[in-house]
C-alpha cells in the first residue's frame, strides 16, 4: 500500500508558518511558536481526516504510527533543547535549595498528615465503640 504524506507535510509547513507569525497587542508580542503551530496543524489534519477518511489518500498503519511516534519525540526533543538551558540558568544560586525544600515538603507533608493521625483515631474509635457497646448492653 502506498502511503500519502503530502497533505501531512503541507499541514506541517502551514503550522510552522503560522507559528512564526507574531501579533503585537498593546505593545506585547504574542506568538504561537513553531512547535505548537505544527502540533495544532497535526491536530486539525487528524480531526479533518477522522471526519473525511478519504482525505489524503490511504495511509499505511505502520507509517502513521511511525509519524505519530517520531513527531511526538521530535516535539519533546526540540522543546527540551529550547527550554533546557533556561532551566539550568534559573537553577543557579539558592534556587536549587528552595526547589529541593519545596519538593521534599510537598512529597512528605500530605502523606504524614493523612497517615500519622490514622492509627490514633482508629484505636480511639475502636475503644469507644467497645465501651459504648458495653454500656448499651448494660442499659438495655
Domain count, the chain: 2
Q: What is the pLDDT of residue 17?
A: 92
37-93 per-position pLDDT tens digit? 888 888 888 888 888 877 766 777 787 788 778 878 887 888 888 888 887 787 777
- Kindly state whether residues 82 and 42 are assigned to the same domain: yes
CB contact at 8 A, 4 and 56: yes
Q: Are residues 52 and 109 in the same domain?
A: no
Same domain, residue pair 80 and 105: no
The model's confidence at residue 7, banded by pLDDT at 50, 70 and 90, is confident
Residue 2 pLDDT level (bands cut at 50, 70, 90):
low
Q: Are residues 99 and 84 in the same domain?
A: no
pLDDT reported for residue 81: 85
pLDDT at 102 over 60: yes
The per-residue pLDDT for 11 is: 85
| Helix residue ranges, H only, the chain | 6-20, 34-51, 61-90, 95-115, 117-139
Cα–Cα distance measured from residue 75 to residue 73, given in angstroms and rounded to the nearest whole number:
5
Last residue of a domain, one of 75, 90, 105: 90
Query: Do 37 and 99 sit in the same domain of this protein?
Result: no
Higher confidence at residue 65 or residue 131? 131
Q: Does residue 125 share a domain with residue 86?
A: no
Return the H-helix or E-strand segment holding 25. strand 22-25
In the predicted model, is pLDDT for residue 1 greater than 60? no
- Express each pLDDT in 81-97 by its tens digit: 888 888 778 777 777 78
* Mean pLDDT of the chain, nearest integer: 82
Euclidean distance between CA atoms 33 and 20, whole angstroms: 6
Same structural domain, 108 and 81: no
Same domain, 70 and 104: no
If asked whether residues 130 and 105 sit together in one domain, one would say yes
Q: Check whether residue 116 and residue 73 sit in a common domain.
A: no
Q: Are residues 71 and 18 in the same domain?
A: yes
The set of cell numbers assigned to 127 is 475503644
| pLDDT cut 70: percent of the chain above it | 95
Find, among 93, 65, 46, the residue nearest to 3 by Cα: 65
| Exposed / middle / buried, residue 108 (Cβ in 10 Å: 0-12, 13-18, 19+) | exposed
Domain that holds residue 107: 94-140
Are 123 and 76 within one domain? no
Contact 19, 74 (CB under 8 A): no
Amino acid at each position: 500500500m502506498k502511503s500519502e504524506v503530502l497533505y501531512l507535510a503541507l499541514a506541517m509547513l502551514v503550522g510552522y508558518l503560522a507559528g512564526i507569525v507574531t501579533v503585537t497587542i498593546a505593545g506585547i508580542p504574542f506568538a504561537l511558536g513553531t512547535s505548537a503551530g505544527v502540533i495544532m496543524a497535526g491536530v486539525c489534519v487528524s480531526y479533518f481526516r477522522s471526519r473525511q477518511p478519504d482525505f489524503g489518500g490511504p495511509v499505511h498503519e505502520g507509517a502513521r504510527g511511525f509519524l505519530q511516534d517520531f513527531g511526538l519525540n521530535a516535539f519533546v526533543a526540540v522543546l527540551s533543547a529550547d527550554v533546557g538551558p533556561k532551566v539550568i540558568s534559573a537553577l543557579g544560586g539558592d534556587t536549587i535549595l528552595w526547589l529541593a525544600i519545596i519538593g521534599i515538603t510537598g512529597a512528605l507533608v500530605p502523606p504524614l498528615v493523612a497517615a500519622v493521625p490514622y492509627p490514633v483515631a482508629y484505636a480511639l474509635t475502636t475503644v469507644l465503640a467497645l465501651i459504648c457497646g458495653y454500656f448499651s448492653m448494660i442499659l438495655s
